């Protein structure tokens, strides 16, 4: 098959960009040159408010002096240390801090470098745990439609975003999916929908089909982020926990987006009062400043590996850059800042104001729905001539021109400002979105 090799902006061709329409982008690039506080500066010198916290990760904004200094100092002291048979003290210090942030008995931390790696790690821990307990038949995994769990083969297998799956073959065997707990009854809910807890009953139906004793784990995002900010109905997560516990199945919360302040708490598990068996994190763990992730693990699971894993390596898994010194230094500084700035408390104080602001925006007749919780929200835009992303993609591009960076996902525009944002910042988001909606029509 012949291809036209003529390219626009040929100097950009070497970089194959992720999750980006490369041809369209390179014909009209959006380039960010620097960042400070709550703003990016574009290469043409414009100030752009970071209404998506980087990619859900820069919860404290940008260029925080304490984080910058921690990374700079660490680079000059210990730039790298392997975690295979060696360690550095700060990795243990951070693990203790993170464990103290987790609910209940999630007292152990396994370091990764991304949300995708955290998910792969959690799935492997779940499978290994059951095998060590003499239940090696538990090999099935259950995710959810619309779920996003990174881009590893495990993550896209349990994930439920079609475009992330359809090109890549048969994926992992023995995976099933629950429905996304959302329907028209829940449109324009304020915070959590009051109806829909019965969506959890679908898990019982799947377990009946497969036999519960063959299922290792269920993985869900407490709030579905990448699919378009779908908030769990009241009682839904509680029912999932009840069903999984009854059948001896591990429950994994993917908190790569919701972890560390997005919902006003260190975890969504704490916010909802539901304690899973494993929690995957990344992104805001260290303010997105150095790639890093972590999996929080229940003590019973950790102790099973320690007791049953033999005298040598108990868990044959890990990464070259696990507990990378620069990432750990950034995470320690970030976690200290969350306390010093009472950043989680700021979200709790202002989430009502933020939610009202989103509902005011959603009064525009081109918006079909709005969903929100904490400092995360999504507006669903009506399509033009029934073409997917026809209006939302225009909103995304125009918002940047109007000095606002947002997140595009299908027909949804997600808004997730840094968790230190104030009322005036929320007002700015509303003003620039209103102008953008008016411009696009």
Q: Is the pLDDT of residue 315 over 60?
A: yes
Query: Tokens 């209404």 map to which residue?
Result: 51
Q: Do domains 10-60+342-440 and 68-340 have the same CATH topology?
A: no
What's the average model confidence in pLDDT over 374-381?
98
Run of H or E residues at 377: strand 376-381
For residue 6, pLDDT beyond 70:
no
* Domain spanning 68-340, CATH architecture: 3-Layer(aba) Sandwich (3.40)
Structure tokens at 35: 């960042």
One-character DSSP codes across 276-336: -SEEEE-GGGGTTSS--EEEEEEHHHHHHHHHHS-SS-SS----TTTT-HHHHHHHHHHHH
Write the Ramachandran bin of 85: left for phi over 0, alpha for psi from -120 to 50, otherwise beta.
left
Give CA–CA dist 40/51, Å, rounded: 10
pLDDT, residue 5, reads: 44
The domain locations on the chain are 10-60+342-440, 68-340
The 10s digit of each residue's pLDDT in 10-66 is 789 999 999 999 999 999 999 999 999 999 999 999 999 999 999 999 999 999 999
Query: Using the 8-state DSSP alphabet, how is residue 102 labeled?
Result: S
Taking 80 as the threshold, does the pLDDT of residue 8 lie above it?
no
What is residue 167's predicted lDDT score, i.e. its pLDDT? Answer: 95
Among 337, 345, 334, 358, CA closest to 416: 358
**How crowded is the C-beta side of 326, counted as CA atoms within 13 Å?**
13
Q: What CATH number was assigned to the domain covering residues 10-60+342-440? A: 3.90.1150.10
Q: What is the pTM of this model?
A: 0.97
Calculate mean pLDDT across residues 366-394. 98
Both tokens of residue 380? 């669903």
Which pLDDT does position 68 carry in this prediction? 98
pLDDT at site 2: 46
Of 9 and 182, more confident: 182
C-alpha to C-alpha distance for 235 and 373, rounded to whole angstroms:
15
């Amino acid at each position: 098959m012949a291809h036209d090799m003529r390219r626009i902006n040929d100097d950009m061709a070497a970089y194959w960009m992720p999750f980006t329409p490369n041809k369209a982008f390179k014909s009209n690039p959006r380039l960010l040159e620097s960042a400070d506080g709550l703003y990016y500066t574009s290469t043409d010198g414009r100030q752009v408010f970071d209404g998506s916290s980087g990619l859900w990760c820069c919860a404290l904004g940008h260029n925080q002096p304490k984080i910058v200094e921690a990374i700079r100092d660490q680079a000059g002291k210990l730039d790298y240390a392997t975690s295979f048979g060696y360690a550095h003290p700060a990795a243990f210090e951070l693990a203790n801090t993170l464990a103290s942030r987790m609910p209940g008995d999630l007292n152990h931390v396994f370091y990764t470098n991304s949300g995708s790696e955290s998910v792969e790690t959690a799935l492997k821990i779940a499978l290994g745990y059951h095998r060590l307990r003499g239940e090696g038949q538990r090999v099935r995994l259950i995710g959810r439609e619309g779920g996003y769990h990174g881009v590893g083969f495990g993550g896209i297998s349990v994930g439920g975003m079609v475009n992330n799956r359809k090109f890549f073959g048969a994926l992992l065997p023995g995976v099933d999916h629950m429905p996304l707990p959302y329907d028209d009854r829940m449109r324009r809910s304020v915070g959590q929908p009051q109806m829909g807890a019965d969506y959890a009953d679908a898990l019982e139906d799947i377990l009946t089909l497969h036999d519960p004793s063959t299922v290792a784990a269920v993985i869900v995002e407490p709030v579905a982020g990448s699919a378009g900010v779908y908030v769990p109905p009241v009682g839904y997560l509680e029912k999932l926990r009840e069903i999984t516990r009854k059948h001896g199945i591990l429950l994994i919360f993917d908190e790569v987006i919701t972890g560390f302040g997005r919902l006003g708490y260190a975890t969504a598990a704490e916010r909802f009062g539901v304690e899973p068996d494993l929690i995957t994190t990344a992104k805001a763990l260290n303010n997105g400043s150095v790639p890093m992730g972590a999996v929080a693990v229940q003590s019973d699971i950790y102790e099973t590996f320690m007791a049953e894993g033999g005298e040598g390596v108990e868990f044959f898994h890990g990464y070259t850059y696990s507990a990378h010194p620069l990432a750990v230094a950034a995470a320690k500084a970030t976690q200290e800042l969350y306390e010093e700035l009472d950043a989680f408390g700021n979200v709790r104080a202002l989430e009502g104001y933020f939610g009202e602001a989103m509902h005011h925006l959603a009064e525009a007749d081109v918006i079909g729905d709005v969903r929100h919780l904490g400092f995360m929200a999504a507006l669903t835009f009506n399509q033009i001539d029934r073409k997917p992303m026809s209006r939302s993609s225009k909103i995304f591009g125009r918002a940047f021109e109007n000095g606002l960076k947002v997140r595009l996902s299908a027909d949804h525009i997600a808004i997730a400002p840094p968790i230190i944002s104030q009322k005036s910042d929320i007002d700015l988001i509303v003003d620039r979105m209103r102008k953008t909606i008016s411009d696009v029509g």
